Chains A and B, each alone.
Chain A
Amino acid sequence: MEKLPDMSKATILLFGVILTLAASMVCLLQRQARSSLEGKVIEVGLIESGGMPALYFNLRNTGGNYANYTYTIRYNSTDRGLVADSSSIMVPPGQTFYYTAVLTRPSQGVMVLNLKIYRGGGSVEESLLHDQTWIIRAQR
């Protein structure tokens, strides 16, 4: 088999790179465009960093109208015993509500942390969208 001249190989390689980069750009732009319309309805996470773990959730209203949600966060705090934080929120269509709570890691034992998110203004089980529990251990 005849060897391709050096120039041809380089050209093919360059065009290959160009195509790859161009395809990546298209994908990136498409992904950004999609991310504002679709994606998860609820994204929940616990960031365990040092003595200040952070609970967060992002709640997107994918409907066409304003929507009410209720969230309840309960945890046993070393300082204050059982802490319950509940609030109702209104989220416009297509918008996202962002929640972050920076907590204090217990000095001993564990902290049991529970998050519940409901659709609407109440907290009936039928409208429960999300229910998750974490156990945060004391810092060693």
Chain B
Amino acid sequence: MKKAAKDLLRVFAVASLVLSSMLVAFAWNPSTSNLTGTDSSTDSSVSGVNRRFNIDGGPSGTYGMQAGDDSDSLALLMKMVTVTTSNVPSSPPATVSPAADSDDGTATAFGFQRKCFYAKGRYWAFFYRCPGGTSWVISYFTSTDGSTWSEGAQSPISTSCDEGSRFSLFFDGTYVHYALRASSNYVLRYRRGTPRTDGGIDWSAAQQTAYTANSTSTIYRPCIAVDSSGYAWIGFQLNDGTIGVPYIIKSGNNDGTWGTGTNTKLLSVGLVEGTNGGYSVAAIPLTGGKMLAIYTANSQYVMTKRWTGSSWGSQVNETTSKALRGFAFSATNEGDDVHLVFTKSGTPRSIVYSKYSYSSNSFGTEETAAGSTYVDDSRCGPVLSINRKNNVLYCFWTTWSYMYYNTRGTSWGTPTQWYSNSPYWVESTTCFYESNGGGIGMIHLYSDQRVKFAARVNGGFSVGDMSAGDQYEMNFTVGSKDFAMLFNATGPTSGYCNLFYKDTGAGSWSSGTYFSQTSIQTGTEYHDTNTYIGFVLTNSTSSADGSAKFIVSKSYLGSLGASGTSVTNIVSVAYVNGNGRPKPSGTTPNDRCPSTGTASYTLQQGGIGVPEFPVGVLVLAIPLMGIYFYLRERSRTNRGNCIGEAPRHE
């Protein structure tokens, strides 16, 4: 009996080992080192379209895509180019406004108010202009390549705003919001819309009245921003005819209409609004519904007051240096911190940078972004933007005809003289608040009364820099089934992964699995609840390719009818303005890999289409085996014991 028990224990031990190995054997997401074999060696850009994506180019020669597998899943990797920087257009600047225009000097004023952005595969530029020299309007133009511009279908957006500095714009990644003073000096208007791929705008609602002051008051220099919860804020100077105070208001609605929210006077004591004097207020969005109001005036310190998400902080903080002019500053956020540049008051002139920290509620040590060698008494002031791929700051400014920029990763470099348009001089300028997936662009008005555009575009991929409609897609065939896996971005850090399938050569795709994810982080693996499909998005760096990695369960592919060990017809494509379907009709890929033909891969860790054996059956069968051995052993023992035994008699 003891021996039988030992046998039984032995069998169970072996069975447990087998089962354990089976459980450990479940694999998912083959490591990068397992992805080999199908690199494309050519840079296969699709000509004739804006080349924002570059999925197969790199500085080092290991371009293209890769495939790999483990025992349970297949992975396909689409490589993105490393971070590189180039000019758009290649010989900047491009002319935006038509030749018949006679635009005003405030066309693109002021820097902190913002009037341009990138969305839906287009650059967008809004400015004050006089088409044909007859009437003054706020118009907008768009361009897919930064070189050729055309007026948008909803342009002009206002015929009663009477100066460029009375218009402000903010793009929040989905909606464009604007604020302007129109018709009456004491009324602020607001509107929100969705930029379209064709350059049009779908307005969320009619133009709203955001604020109505006393009829004897005047509103100056509105600046709009939108917090992380979608609520619009507008900072401005409210002037009673003599004294101007900094003011900021918040909408109570986040649906495109303006609702009664909060109205806040930032300082109770104002200044006289002299020539180009008085306060200017910039609203800077932070995280979690927080907001920072930055305001200053001629020869004043730059001050801040923070909104915690539910109330205003009590104290206003100041920079060490004073600003030369109230409007000559610009700021952008990085999380809850805010980067600020302004032209320093006094001589010699310089452009000063300081970083506001929300946690300490104070400005840090001031740095010089550009010394007196590069700065004159230009009225434009510096404008600041941030590259969301790597959080590098771009500061643009002008001296006479020359356009300069400087960048800051951890410290400021040496200023670069970018271009000039002699004999004309720059009269006003502004730039993107952030990179928005299309690099960092700026618009400015030269004294020839023409608005110009130029951008510094950073290649490479970054999760936080995705634009809605960015689509990365991989097509492949297993056995008699075609598959398409794609990732379609819905925002800078959100999107969805789809798997479609069809019989090889069939026309229409069937839907297999849809999986959407928010708050995506670089290098993190995400998958659906069934672990059928998943993806990993990895940022490019200056020395390493970025990537989009698609993972799919082999057993799931088998359940859809795939079988075999050969993965063929592998092609990766990238689209701007993808619609979440394979090969969006009417859309030309931004890039394709390989440039012609397809790649293939042979599965290394087991084929697709082998029916799954239920583990439960194994769990039940192993005890049966144990019992069988036990009985067999006992039967032998019994037979042995019977030899030589005398028959029993009652």
Contact = CB atoms under 8 A, between A and B. Distances in A.
Contacts of A80: 174, 230, 254
Contacts of A129: none
Given A78-B229, A79-B228, A25 B510 contact: no
B12 interface: no
A66 B631 CA distance: 54
Contacts of A104: 518-519
Contacts of A25: 617, 620-621
Contact of A32 (B255, B517, B614, B638): B614
B623 interface: yes
Identify the interface centre among B174, B518, B526: most chain A CB within 10 Å of its CB: B518
A67 to B, nearest CB: 10
A3 to B, nearest CB: 17
A96 to B, nearest CB: 9
Contacts of A52: 518-519
B447 to A, nearest CB: 42
A32 B510 CA distance: 25
B624 interface: yes
Contacts of B620: 21, 24-25, 28
A90 B617 contact: no
Contacts of A132: none
Given A28-B620, A79-B230, A81-B255, A107 B517 contact: no
B529 interface: yes
Nearest to B516: A101
A47 interface: yes
Contact of A81 (B254, B289, B617): B254
Contacts of B627: 14, 17-18
A91 B514 contact: no
Contact of A28 (B513, B514, B616): B616
A90 B57 CA distance: 36
Given A18-B627, A56-B529, A79-B229, A98 B255 contact: no
A89 B511 contact: yes
A13 to B, nearest CB: 10
A92 to B, nearest CB: 5
Interface string B512-526: 111111110000001
B511 A97 contact: yes
Interface string A90-133: 11100101111111100100000000000000000000000000
Contacts of B255: 81-82
Q: Tell me the dominant secondary structure on chain A's binding face.
A: mixed
Interface in A32-91: 32, 47, 52, 54, 56, 66, 78-82, 85, 87, 89-91
B470 to A, nearest CB: 17
Contacts of B509: 90
Nearest to B520: A102
Contacts of B515: 99-102
Nearest to B4: A10
B511 A91 contact: yes
A29 interface: yes
Contacts of A100: 513-516, 528-530
A29 B617 CA distance: 8
B536 interface: no
B534 to A, nearest CB: 10
A22 interface: yes
A87 B580 contact: yes
Nearest to B533: A98
B532 interface: yes
A122 B35 CA distance: 42
Identify the interface centre among B174, B496, B511, B513: most chain A CB within 10 Å of its CB: B511
Contacts of A21: 620-621, 623-624
Contacts of A17: 623, 627
B517 A102 contact: yes
Nearest to A83: B490
Nearest to B174: A80
B545 to A, nearest CB: 27
Interface string B277-312: 000000000001100000000000000000000000
A101 B515 CA distance: 6
A28 B254 CA distance: 53
Nearest to A82: B255
B519 A90 contact: no
B512 A97 contact: yes
A107 B623 CA distance: 52
Contacts of B530: 98, 100
A17 B8 CA distance: 14
B167 to A, nearest CB: 24
B518 A99 contact: no
B560 interface: yes
B630 interface: yes
Given A21-B620, A78-B229, A87-B580, 10 more contacts: A17-B623, A21-B621, A79-B230, A90-B510, A92-B510, A97-B511, A97-B513, A100-B530, A102-B518, A104-B518
20 contacts: A7-B638, A21-B623, A28-B614, A28-B620, A29-B617, A56-B529, A79-B228, A79-B230, A81-B230, A87-B580, A90-B509, A90-B511, A95-B560, A98-B514, A98-B530, A100-B514, A100-B529, A101-B514, A102-B526, A103-B518
Complex A-B, nearest 8 residue pairs according to Cβ-Cβ distance, in ascending order:
A89-B511, A100-B528, A98-B513, A101-B516, A100-B515, A81-B254, A28-B616, A104-B518
